[in-house]
Homo-oligomer: A and B are copies of this chain.
C-alpha cells in the first residue's frame, strides 16, 4: 500500500489579528519602529503589512480591552483546495462556518484548534495595490522598501501556546495538511513543542506548552528580514527606541532560526528572524525530534533560554 500523498491545499500563512489595550502605542511601534505600512482602517482595527507581503495586510491590529491573538488566517492554494479543507475540518466535527471576510480578503471558513485559538481559511484575497508613493523601484516587489525602522520583508510565522501540544500535533496535519518538521518530546512522552509547515518554509506555526491553565493564548508573531545583519540592526533600533528586548539576537538550535524577541508596548511578543537559505524541500521530510536532554543544552551557541520565554504569553494571567 502506498503512503498517502502530501497535501498542498493550504498555500501559506496569511495574517494574524493581534489585540492591544494600548492601541496608539502599539500602532506607533509597528509603523515607526517595526517599519510596517498601514494599508487600511476599519472600526477598531488598523491593517498593516510588510513591504513584500503581496496581500493587503498580514497584521490586523485591533484595539481591545486585552492583548493576545484574536484570529489567524491561512490562504488556500485554490478554491477547490479550500473546499477540500472545509470538508476535512467539518468531518472532524470542528467547523464553525463561514465569515463574510474582511477588508483584506473574501469569505473565510472558521474553526478552532483544540486549545481554542480561532483560525480561518480563505482563497479570495485582495492584492496590495501600491499608491504612487509606495511603488517599488523593481516591479517584482510588492511595495517600496523604505528602510524605515526594522523594515521587515514579510510575515513569517506565529507561535501559539497550548495546554496539550500533542493534541495540536494530531490536529494540524488533518485540518490544514501541515507537516511536522520538528518537535520536542519530553522523557515522559509529552510533546513540549511542535513546528508545522504547509509549504517549503521550515515552519509557519509553532506551538509550545501553556502551563498556566489558560487556553487560547499567544506566544509571538514573527516577521523576517533578509540577512542576519538586519536582525542585529533591529536590535540597535530597539535599543535606541527603548523597546524591551527579551532575548537575542542568537540562533535557535531548533529550526536554526536567527532570532530576536521584543515586546510591543501592549506586551505582545514580536520576533525578528532570519532563516538564511534554509528550506524544507524534501516532500518526505522526516520529523526531527529533540529530546529533553538535547533541549536542555540551550540555544545553538549555548545561550540559556530566559525564563520569561517559557512563562510570558498574552493575554497575561491578569487578563485571563
A residues in contact (CB < 8 Å) with B:
2-3, 5-6, 8, 11-12, 52, 54, 75-81, 136-141, 144-149, 153-154, 156, 182, 199-201, 224-230, 232-233, 235-240, 242, 244-251, 253-256, 258, 274-279, 281-283, 285, 288, 290, 294, 300-303
Contact status A153-B276, CB under 8 Å:
yes
Bound CA span A285–B52, Å = 13
Closest 8 CB pairs of A and B: A226-B276, A200-B200, A8-B8, A11-B283, A229-B229, A12-B281, A77-B283, A224-B277
A277 contact from B229, B275, B282, B303, Cβ within 8 A:
B275
Total copies of the chain: 4
- Say whether B52 contacts A278, CB under 8 Å: yes
Min CB gap A206→B, angstroms: 14
Query: Once bound together, how far apart are the Cα atoms of A146 and B281, in whole Å?
Result: 22
Contacts of A3 in B (CB 8 A): 78
**Residues of B with C-beta under 8 A to A144:** 240
Contact of A147 with B149 in the complex, beta carbons under 8 Å: yes
Shortest distance between the CB of A170 and any CB in chain B (Å): 22
Contacts of A249 in B (CB 8 A): 249-250, 301
* Complex: chain B residue closest to A251, CB-CB: B235
Tell me which residues across on chain B come within 8 A of A251, comparing CB atoms: 232, 235-236
Residue of B nearest to A229 (CB): B229
Are A228 and B229 interface neighbours, CB within 8 A? Answer: yes
Give, as a whole number of angstroms, the nearest-CB distance from A280 to chain B: 9
Query: Distance in Å from the Cβ of A23 to the closest Cβ of chain B?
Result: 24
Contacts of A276 in B (CB 8 A): 153, 225-227
Query: Inside 8 A of A76's CB, which chain B residues have their CB?
Result: 283
List, in ascending order, chain B residues with CB within 8 A of A278's CB: 52, 153, 226
Interface core residue of A81, A140, A285 (most chain B CB under 10 Å): A140
